[in-house]
Amino acid sequence: MKKSIAVFGTGPGVGQAVARRYGKEGFDVVLVARRRERLDLLARDLEAEGVTAHVVTADLDRSGDVPELAERIRAHVGDPTALYYGPAPADLAFVPAVDLTPELLQDRMPITLYTLMALVGEFLPAMAGRGDGAILSAQGAAAVQGRPGMSGWPTVLAAQRNYLQSLAAEAAGKGVYVGMLYIGARILGTPFEEDYQRRLAEGEPVSEMAAADPADLAGILWDMHTARDRHESVVPAGLLDR
């Protein structure tokens, strides 16, 4: 059976790089995000490289739509061999912990946790039935270690991490790998990187951050998936020791 991956959150950066890397490794790719134009462009690029790519538009903030979304994915590739989950809210809303409100967290729960859980519920049974599969994610390193002024979305990401850690332990005996990548660097080719460079050029105070190539980050996820020797990686290495 041809292997496939559904990439949820195929935006600029890691999502697109994961699609390219898995396509290069012979996987059919399902590209999932809200904006069709960008997905169509990426699909054409991938197909020019010999990759079979399918476009499925979806608002991942709408957890209740997951059953219908899963059926649209199955119409293209059946139950995917792997899924990657890495979308972000439109407004990241980093705030000091003293200003955090229940309403702010609730707004970010669907796209961060509820939709992921629903997708796992749809696709994990088939992975376990085959005795093979992978559930992958990439998110900010603030999910691993709290930082001053960076509560809000990272607080919900920490809950996502807890869920995935438990899932990793439970799914391992069924042949399903769960891998998490946490990134504490600016990712080249993303809107964040463009804004960082603009602020730097204009002389605004910015925190020094390492840069990361999204292709390298996708390579880390691929290596984790294939080696299955660890469930978590942090970039840059040693970040949490500072």
Q: What are the structural domains of the chain?
A: 4-185+215-235 (3.40.50.720)
Residue 207 has pLDDT above 80, yes or no: no
207 versus 197: which is more confidently predicted?
197
pLDDT confidence tier of residue 217, bands split at 50, 70 and 90: very high
What value does the mean pLDDT take over residues 67-95? Answer: 91
Q: How far is residue 215's CA from residue 175's CA, in Å, rounded to a whole number?
A: 26
pLDDT given for residue 107 in this prediction: 86
pLDDT: which is higher, 205 or 138:
138
Residue 176 CA from chain centroid, whole number: 17
Cis omega (within 30 of 0) for bond into 236: yes
Give yes or no for a contact between 134 and 82, defined as CB atoms under 8 angstroms apart. yes
Q: Which of 39-53, 98-112, 210-224 has the lowest mean pLDDT?
A: 98-112
Binned at pLDDT 50, 70 and 90, residue 75 comes out as very high
The set of residues, in sequence order, having a beta carbon less than 8 Å from that of 115 and lying 6+ positions away, is 8, 60, 61, 62, 63, 66, 87
Could you give the CA distance from residue 179 to residue 100 in angstroms, rounded to a whole number?
29
Cα 111 from Cα 175, distance rounded (Å): 27
Question: Which pLDDT does position 200 carry in this prediction?
Answer: 80
Q: What is the mean pLDDT of residues 27-42?
A: 95
Integer CA distances (angstroms), 110 to 44, 73, 113, 114, 194, in order: 30, 20, 6, 5, 27
Cβ neighbours for 208, distance < 8 A, ≥ 6 positions apart: none
Dihedral sign of CA atoms 43, 45, 47, 52 in order: negative
Put simply, whether the predicted model's pTM sits higher than 0.85 gets the answer yes
Q: Tell me what the pLDDT averaged over the chain comes to.
A: 91
